[in-house]
Structure 1
Amino acid sequence: MLRRLLIADFVLVDRLELDFRGGFGALTGETGAGKSILLDALSLLLGERADANVVRAGCEKADLSAEFELASDSPAQAWLRAQDLGGDEAELLVRRVVDNNGRSRAYINGVPATATQLRELAEFVCDIHGQHAHQALLRPDAQRQLLDEHAGILDLARKVSQHWRDWSAARRASEEARAQQAGILREQEMLSFEVQELTALGFEAQDWETLNQEHARLSHAASLLDGASSALEAVSEGEQALDSQTERLAAQLAELASYDPALGDIAELLNEAAIRLEEAGHALRRYRERVELDPERLQQLEQRIADIVAAARKYRIQPDELPARLAASRTRLESLTALSDPAALAERERLAQASFEQAARELSAHRASAARTLSDAVTGAMQELAMAGGRFEIALLPEPEGSANGYEKVEFQVAANPSQTLRPLAKVASGGELSRIGLSIQVIASAAQAVPTLIFDEVDVGIGGGVAEIVGRRLRELGSTRQVLCVTHLPQVAAQAAWQWRVSKENRDGATLSRLDVLDEAGRIEEIARMLGGVNITATTRSHAAELLGF
């Protein structure tokens, strides 16, 4: 569960440190006070896209961090270990920093992480239901996603999609092979010759520089020999050899140093120079012995270079690009060889189809079971939410040919009262009905999941009165098994919470900032009274608030 949230220079918040409790908590306040800022911060910590607008005006960066308490055997801990991001066995630390230029950095347990990793981790620690979650339920893809999440078969659904893509690719390969068989054979023949020719050339990219260096050395062997011999003559073998002259000069200065010590250092320098010249002479002698005039080898090199240049010119590339051309041609030839084998293509298509069909049938069975369970649960909840006699059903509409989503489309259907027939949710539900049905679906679906923290951001819009009180009780029941935080404008919902925070705006040093207060019993009575009565709060309103709270 979420234990702590630290926010610095984020939108209207300068600095805020929040310690969370378990159970059901309510976050209330006037419209525009910044209640959703806390949830926006948490969403950013859990991988939502960042931009410079979240940094408080005049600040260099927004700095957010959260601490979660984790069970040692939780799925989150297993994911952290698999990602090599494990820290303390009992806690998880997440941090995100956003610069005022929009660049962001993320950390999990102090280790740099990507936004993708944050989003993956979020699936195990927190589920946020936004303000527009009800409208999202009108989309077929959102309905299918919710059902698969409720059934715990998202991995299976992804596997079905992959099998479908594999099958589709195999079918396209077969069709391409049939339609282009003649062209494939011509290209295959051309590539076979090319691969054979370049393989016979036996050329590696690193050989080119070595070849050119050896060619340059052999083609200038006579000049190199002459130059080395002349240098050797001057350094150590001639009558006026430098090493001998330097040695004599060093000896003369060494004798004179007895009269003036200053010449001793110079004599030492000349002595070192003589040693160096002697070493140079040895090196030149060894070099001269190695250099050979080898016309035959030179001719071989010239022929080899000519062959490589001719091949490169033929394929209109640089010589050192020939190995890459050979590798690409081999790869293409292998793919063409597969395309030219109808039996192999048919077998590949058959296996891909069988894999899809098996996974899709398994997916259908899980969906059918989950659809019945969720339909019955939501229908039951509708009876408590002023929709007596209403029905909810998740219809699985067959797609015999299959698709990336399996063998069926998922469609939420509803009858708001007994006299109506079931019709698609998107076509029949009014705003108020959609709010009640959508909230029921989210609460029931969340109860079946293992995510320890659930957050509802004004998802109770469009309901009120006794229905709101029932919604509050539902959230309180949900809070008995996990942490639930609800941003709400409804006093009936807030009164059911075990703890409550109030968000307000204040002017500080010329800046408008959000402020959060943890409410005690008296504070809760006052806040619920404000939610009930507006600006003028009377003793009667406070009494009603205390009654709602059970104080």
Structure 2
Amino acid sequence: MLQALAIRDVVLIERLDLAFGPGLSVLTGETGAGKSILLDSLGLALGQRAEAGLVRAGQNQASVSAAFQPPTSHPAFALLIEQGIEAEDEIVLRRVVQADGKSRAFVNDQPVGVALLRRLGALLVEVQGQHDQVGLADPAGHAALLDAFGALETDRTQVATAHRAWRDAERALDAAQKAIAEAQADEEWLRHAVAELGALAPQEGEEEALATRRQGLQHGERRAEAVAAALAELTPRDRRRGGGPADALRSAARALERMPGQDQAQQEGIQPALTLLGMAQDALSEAETLLTRMVQDAAPDPRALEQTEERLFALRAAARKHAVAVVELPDLLESLKARLSSLDAGTGRVAALEKAARENRTAYVAAANALTQARTEAGARLEKALSRELVPLKLDRARVTATLTPRPEAAWGADGQDRVEFLVSTNPGQTPGALAKIASGGELSRLMLALKVVLSRGSPVPTLVFDEVDSGIGGATAAAVGDRLTKVAARVQVLVVTHSPQVAARGAAHFQVAKRLRDGRAETRVLALDTGARREEIARMLAGEKVTEAARAAADELLAAVG
């Protein structure tokens, strides 16, 4: 509900802070006192059009803040979360208007667009005035209101569930048909690609394993080449001609051994050299043997590297052809196989999906027809309930009907097949029309009040504002209006601007709007009236300019009657 309204520098209001409670709050005052300024200020906070003329003369800006505390399950909180705004217990809508007419909007002190402010305002407050009604005047919400009146939540849920199942089946069928159409268009390529990739048979992780093996084979080949080169240096290419290091060592040893004219001392001097040459020959022979063994052991398979590279390059060529990474080739093959399988088995699957779509459509139509029938019955009960409410409101000639118009299949939705609209005729023989177009201002306000008495349980809006719903009536009719406002206020918060003492006496809270001069300047103020002041205000409304004791006595009777 609306907890507080803070107004700064709006037209004749310099500073005003109002607090509201549950139930019925009435605002009274003489014509021209500024009651409309209060409603314009509230409308500003609810996202209505901002105008420079709202800014108090001589000020740079005007501002209005409206604080609400709706139930925790209220849809306004879901909207805040959707918009990324922290949802607190209290929702504060604020609007600032500059002297040039430009405005800024805030929700819980976070800047927002005026469109969001308007969406939140529509969820929190419904204004029923003589000239621009919202809420019930908008046919978009009539179906939900009728369903709530008729307690058709279960029927509506069944329709929504059936509609979702039908649409899901239609989407599955559409996707299958598109997939088959695409597959058929590419059938020749698809079969070739599956055969080609199937023959290639790419394996998961194969590229990395092949690359590692290729690198190892290349290193092994280079090592074998190095060992062979070393061995070639030790082994003469033509052993008959000699020239290798082993032959050189043997030749050196023979030359020393054949040295002529050696005595004992010379023999002993040559012997170490011969020993070393022998050792060198042995070491060289051992190295040659070792290198020979290494060549034999490390000799690469002449086809291994070639085969590895052929496989690796074939995988990479296939990946380039299909514009994917090599690691994605196995999944691509499975995907192409699945497409081919869907093509081969597509006719049967589409037939099954077509059958499912037909069955789900039939289920939806059955549920929607049941909802239509239930709405028709609920509409008849609604018309009777409204007829009872309209008589004491001096609208006994008016007739409100809940009209159900079939929508084309393309417009069927989770809320059924019907377009629901409340139509009204105010005189016998008159063709029923839209609420906002048929009735006069006062009639429309009272029609809205009657509808609210009957339908208020179906609306999530926690605060209703009625602007002069009692215009042009008095006596018993005004008392009937007050009685119905009280009924509505038992369910939701109601604020009413009234000139009727019978209505004013019904209020749980009473605010007086008055205009006074201060420093030669007109100013609007609002006072919360206590019991004595309230008695005087109702007496003024009864008597006019001069309050008499008889008027006070009549005010006492009105207050006692509703006390």
Q: Same fold (TM over 0.5)?
A: yes
Once residues 92 and 210 of structure 2 are traced to their aligned partners in structure 1, the CA distance between those partners, rounded to angstroms, is 54
C-alpha spacing 1:18/1:173, structure 2 compared with 1 (3 Å): same
Give the equivalent residue in structure 1 for 2:356. Answer: 348
Bigger radius of gyration: 2
Identity of aligned residues (%): 27
Q: 2:472 aligns with which of 464, 473, 480?
A: 464
- TM-superposed deviation, 1:445: 0.5
Once residues 471 and 308 of structure 1 are traced to their aligned partners in structure 2, the CA distance between those partners, rounded to angstroms, is 85
* Alignment pair present for 1:148 and 2:147: yes
- TM-superposed deviation, 1:171: 5.7
Retained in 2: the 8 A contact 1:506–1:513? Answer: yes
The residue type equivalent to 2:530 in the other structure is D
* Alignment pair present for 1:23 and 2:23: yes
Retained in 1: the 8 A contact 2:470–2:481? Answer: no
The residue type equivalent to 1:93 in the other structure is D
Q: 1:315 aligns with which of 293, 312, 322?
A: 322
In the TM superposition, what are the counterparts of 1:245-260 in structure 2 within 5 Å? none
The residue type equivalent to 2:352 in the other structure is A
* Alignment pair present for 1:550 and 2:559: yes
Deviations 1:81-113 (A, max 9, x none): xx9xxxxxxxx9234587998675699xxxxxx
Once residues 338 and 514 of structure 2 are traced to their aligned partners in structure 1, the CA distance between those partners, rounded to angstroms, is 65
* Alignment pair present for 1:403 and 2:412: yes
Give the equivalent residue in structure 1 for 2:378. Answer: 370
Q: 2:126 aligns with which of 125, 129, 134?
A: 129
C-alpha spacing 1:330/1:355, structure 2 compared with 1 (3 Å): farther
The residue type equivalent to 1:94 in the other structure is E
Retained in 2: the 8 A contact 1:396–1:409? Answer: yes
Q: 1:306 aligns with which of 297, 303, 313?
A: 313
- TM-superposed deviation, 1:375: 0.8
The residue type equivalent to 1:364 in the other structure is T
- TM-superposed deviation, 1:352: 1.2
Deviations 1:246-268 (A, max 9, x none): xxxxxxxxxxxxxxxxxxxxxxx
C-alpha spacing 1:546/1:182, structure 2 compared with 1 (3 Å): closer
In the TM superposition, what are the counterparts of 1:19-418 in structure 2 within 5 Å? 20-27=20-27, 30-35=34-39, 37=41, 66-67=68-69, 93-95=89-91, 128-131=125-128, 134=133, 137=136, 140-153=139-152, 156-157=155-156, 160=159, 163-164=162-163, 167=166, 170=169, 184-187=183-186, 190=189, 306-316=313-323, 341-397=349-405, 403-404=412-413, 405-417=415-427
TM-score where L is the length of structure 1: 0.57
Retained in 1: the 8 A contact 2:24–2:493? Answer: yes
Deviations 1:455-482 (A, max 9, x none): 2223545833224442222111333x33
Once residues 17 and 208 of structure 2 are traced to their aligned partners in structure 1, the CA distance between those partners, rounded to angstroms, is 66
Give the equivalent residue in structure 2 for 1:5. Answer: 3
- TM-superposed deviation, 1:394: 1.9
Give the equivalent residue in structure 2 for 1:244. Answer: none
* Alignment pair present for 1:478 and 2:488: yes
Once residues 195 and 8 of structure 1 are traced to their aligned partners in structure 2, the CA distance between those partners, rounded to angstroms, is 73
Give the equivalent residue in structure 1 for 2:463. Answer: 455
Once residues 134 and 406 of structure 1 are traced to their aligned partners in structure 2, the CA distance between those partners, rounded to angstroms, is 26
The residue type equivalent to 1:185 in the other structure is Q
- TM-superposed deviation, 1:154: 5.4
TM-score where L is the length of structure 2: 0.56
> What secondary structure is seen at the aligned counterpart in 1 of 2:25?
strand
- TM-superposed deviation, 1:416: 2.2
> What secondary structure is seen at the aligned counterpart in 1 of 2:146?
helix
Once residues 313 and 514 of structure 2 are traced to their aligned partners in structure 1, the CA distance between those partners, rounded to angstroms, is 82
The residue type equivalent to 2:126 in the other structure is H
- TM-superposed deviation, 1:376: 0.6
Once residues 148 and 366 of structure 1 are traced to their aligned partners in structure 2, the CA distance between those partners, rounded to angstroms, is 9
> What secondary structure is seen at the aligned counterpart in 1 of 2:90?
strand
> What secondary structure is seen at the aligned counterpart in 2 of 1:465?
coil
The residue type equivalent to 2:422 in the other structure is F
C-alpha spacing 1:66/1:146, structure 2 compared with 1 (3 Å): closer
The residue type equivalent to 1:412 in the other structure is F
C-alpha spacing 1:415/1:96, structure 2 compared with 1 (3 Å): closer
CA RMSD of aligned residues (A): 6.1
Retained in 2: the 8 A contact 1:140–1:410? Answer: yes
- TM-superposed deviation, 1:500: 1.9
- TM-superposed deviation, 1:495: 3.3
* Alignment pair present for 1:519 and 2:529: yes
Once residues 540 and 43 of structure 2 are traced to their aligned partners in structure 1, the CA distance between those partners, rounded to angstroms, is 23
The residue type equivalent to 1:160 in the other structure is V
> What secondary structure is seen at the aligned counterpart in 1 of 2:37?
coil
**Higher mean C-alpha displacement, 328-337 vs 138-147:** 328-337
The residue type equivalent to 1:147 in the other structure is L
Q: 1:424 aligns with which of 433, 442, 464?
A: 433
**Higher mean C-alpha displacement, 29-38 vs 484-493:** 29-38
Once residues 191 and 219 of structure 2 are traced to their aligned partners in structure 1, the CA distance between those partners, rounded to angstroms, is 41
> What secondary structure is seen at the aligned counterpart in 1 of 2:400?
strand
Once residues 299 and 106 of structure 2 are traced to their aligned partners in structure 1, the CA distance between those partners, rounded to angstroms, is 64
C-alpha spacing 1:30/1:8, structure 2 compared with 1 (3 Å): closer
How many residues are paired up? 439
